């Protein structure tokens, strides 16, 4: 970015400098981006200090450095999606129907599993509503971020991140990509946290070690499209549910897998909604509610580009 600016003619540079001098924000774009990157770096350094709090890094297939770098770069954005007020409406669209359904279907204290929990906001909110929650997430970076959010939230503190630092496309104004976001946007309680257990392993492997029929509900949010073999996920969900237990799902079928995995992936099934729902009933579920919810995912609200997913929401009861 700096090089591109320096390659401009003297005239053009003067003109740009004049525009910046006339706008509220007088520093130039590369400097502001540098500063935003430093804010993100500080956030990541703080997470680094939490590493001893995580018992083990779960991924057994080592990732190439490029894949890790991409996950680190996206982490502030993922944290903002779950813990920033910028993403409040995005979260409410798909999380609220899950809370309502759980409240309607299950008594307080019921056991809920949330696989693919990300930075654990949904899992925390379910625990805050009185349920006993187990979250499963294999991305240690997201779990570090979750641990940091809990530590800050308990103290009513916030930290600053600049998730859009490198997004120079689709800005409405000069400072859109460097604006700060403060996280977490929620106060937390020890009481709610005491009802949340976090498991930092892969879902299918973890399910093998859990007792069968342990949960009253399994909640999958933007998760069913993270596997090449959704049948395998479905079978594990069935194994973990009590008879009469509920599967609540919300998310699109935007199939995506770790692209740079060092172990080969099994061939992808990638069912469409019709096939998927037939499979749900074939596996012994009765679908009590089904609807579509349009929502962005990690959509920067101030961007000129918005991608909406048509999410499949359903609540289905097993074995009734
Ligand atoms: C698209 S994100 C959704 C996060 C969160 N549920 C939400 O609604 O915002 C999917 C998450 O699932 C995790 N994940 C994907 N496959 C997994 C697996 N097999 N076991 C555990 N976690 C997995 C990813 O690391 C990622 O954090």
- Kindly tell me if the per-residue pLDDT of 31 is higher than 70: yes
Q: What number is the average pLDDT over the span 65-71?
A: 76
Q: What pLDDT is recorded for position 263?
A: 60
Closest CA to 142 of 78, 69, 81: 78
- Kindly tell me if the per-residue pLDDT of 50 is higher than 90: no
Atom 8 (ligand 1): residue with closest C-alpha?
A: 221
Q: How far is CA 106 from CA 82, 101, 167, 290, 310, in A?
A: 24, 8, 42, 18, 27
**67/29 Cα distance (integer angstroms):** 27
The residue to mutate among 134, 137, 265, 296, having the most atoms of ligand 1 within 8 angstroms of its beta carbon, is 137
- Kindly tell me if the per-residue pLDDT of 72 is higher than 90: no
- Kindly tell me if the per-residue pLDDT of 316 is higher than 50: yes
Ligand 1 center from residue 119 Cα (angstroms): 9
Ligand 1 center from residue 151 Cα (angstroms): 22
The residue to mutate among 98, 138, 208, having the most atoms of ligand 1 within 8 angstroms of its beta carbon, is 138
Q: What pLDDT is recorded for position 55?
A: 45
The Cα diameter of the chain in Å comes to 75
Alpha-carbon torsion 315, 318, 319, 320, what sign?
negative
- Kindly tell me if the per-residue pLDDT of 264 is higher than 70: no
Q: What pLDDT is recorded for position 274?
A: 97
218-246: per-residue pLDDT in tens?
A: 999 999 999 988 999 999 999 999 999 99
Q: What number is the average pLDDT over the span 156-183?
A: 94
**178/30 Cα distance (integer angstroms):** 10
Range picked from 5-14, 32-41, 238-247 for highest mean pLDDT = 238-247
Ligand 1 center from residue 286 Cα (angstroms): 25
Q: What number is the average pLDDT over the span 277-292?
A: 97
The least confident of 19-33, 103-117, 290-304 is 19-33
Atom 23 (ligand 1): residue with closest C-alpha?
A: 116
- Kindly tell me if the per-residue pLDDT of 286 is higher than 90: yes
Ligand 1 center from residue 317 Cα (angstroms): 23
pLDDT grade, residue 27 (50/70/90)?
Answer: low
Ligand 1 center from residue 223 Cα (angstroms): 5
Atom 13 (ligand 1): residue with closest C-alpha?
A: 116
Ligand 1 center from residue 25 Cα (angstroms): 38
The residue to mutate among 223, 237, 248, 309, having the most atoms of ligand 1 within 8 angstroms of its beta carbon, is 223
Please give the residue that has the higher pLDDT: either 20 or 163.
Answer: 163
What's the length of the chain? Answer: 320
Atom 16 (ligand 1): residue with closest C-alpha?
A: 226
Could you tell me where the DSSP H helices lie in 186-259? 190-194, 203-209, 230-240
- Kindly tell me if the per-residue pLDDT of 62 is higher than 80: no
Q: What pLDDT is recorded for position 268?
A: 83
**Is 245 within 8 Å of 318 (Cβ atoms)?**
yes
**Is 224 within 8 Å of 230 (Cβ atoms)?**
yes
> What's the pTM value of the predicted model, to 2 decimals?
0.90
Q: Which residues line ligand 1 (CB under 6 A)?
A: 82, 115-118, 122, 136-139, 142, 202-203, 221-223, 226
Atom 1 (ligand 1): residue with closest C-alpha?
A: 222
pLDDT grade, residue 314 (50/70/90)?
Answer: very high
Question: Long-range pairs for 277-285 at CB < 8 Å and ≥24 separation?
Answer: 277/314, 279/230, 279/231, 279/234, 280/234, 280/247, 280/314, 280/316, 283/234, 283/235, 283/238, 284/238, 284/318, 284/319, 285/247, 285/316, 285/317, 285/318
pLDDT grade, residue 160 (50/70/90)?
Answer: very high
Q: What number is the average pLDDT over the span 123-146?
A: 96
The residue to mutate among 79, 126, 204, 226, having the most atoms of ligand 1 within 8 angstroms of its beta carbon, is 226
């Amino acid at each position: 970015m700096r090089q591109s600016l320096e390659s401009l003619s003297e005239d053009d540079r003067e003109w740009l400098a004049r525009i910046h001098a006339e706008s509220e924000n007088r520093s130039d774009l590369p400097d502001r981006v540098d500063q935003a990157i430093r804010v993100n770096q500080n956030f990541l350094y703080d997470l680094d200090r939490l590493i001893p709090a995580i018992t083990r890094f779960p991924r057994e297939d080592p990732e190439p450095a490029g894949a890790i770098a991409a996950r680190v770069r996206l982490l502030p954005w993922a944290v903002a999606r779950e813990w920033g007020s910028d993403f409040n409406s995005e979260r409410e669209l798909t999380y609220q129907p899950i809370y309502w359904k759980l409240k309607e279907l299950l008594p307080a204290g019921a056991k809920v599993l949330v696989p693919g929990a990300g930075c654990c906001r949904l899992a925390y909110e379910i625990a805050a509503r009185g349920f006993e929650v187990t979250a499963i997430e294999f991305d240690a970076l997201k779990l570090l971020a979750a641990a940091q959010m809990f530590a800050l939230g308990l103290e009513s503190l916030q930290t600053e991140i600049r998730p859009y630092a490198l997004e120079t496309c689709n800005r409405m104004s000069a400072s859109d990509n460097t604006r700060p976001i403060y996280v977490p946007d929620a106060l937390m309680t020890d009481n709610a946290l005491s009802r949340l257990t976090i498991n930092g392993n892969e879902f299918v492997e973890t399910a093998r070690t859990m007792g069968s029929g342990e949960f009253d509900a399994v909640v999958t949010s933007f998760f069913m499209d993270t596997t090449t073999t959704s049948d395998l996920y479905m079978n594990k969900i069935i194994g973990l549910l009590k008879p009469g237990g509920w599967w609540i799902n919300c998310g699109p079928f935007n199939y995506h897998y770790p692209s740079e995995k060092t172990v080969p992936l099994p061939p992808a099934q990638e069912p469409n909604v019709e096939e998927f729902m037939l499979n749900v009933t074939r596996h012994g579920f009765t679908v009590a509610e089904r609807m579509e919810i349009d929502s962005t995912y990690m959509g920067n609200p101030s961007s000129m580009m918005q991608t909406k997913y048509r999410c499949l929401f359903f609540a289905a009861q097993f074995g009734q």
